[in-house]
Amino acid sequence: MPIKHAHLLLPALLVVSFSIHAEPDRELNIKIDAPSLLKSILGNEATQPLYVYLPPSYHTSTKR
C-alpha cells in the first residue's frame, strides 16, 4: 500500500535529524504567522514553526 504523503516524510525526517544534532546556541525556533492557513481544511495551525540553523562561526565571526 503506497503512502499518500510520502513526499512530506523526507523533509520531516531531515528536520528531526538536524534538531537532534544541532547545538542549542546554533538553532533558532521562530514562530511565524500564516494567515492563509486560518481556514485550512487540513486543520493546520495559523502559526507555523520556522527552524533556522546557524553556522558554527555565527557567534564568533564579525562577518554578516
> What pLDDT was estimated at residue 1?
45
**Whole-model pTM?**
0.48
> What pLDDT was estimated at residue 8?
53
Q: What is the band of 31 on the pLDDT scale with cuts at 50, 70, 90? A: very high
> Where do we find the cell 499518500?
4
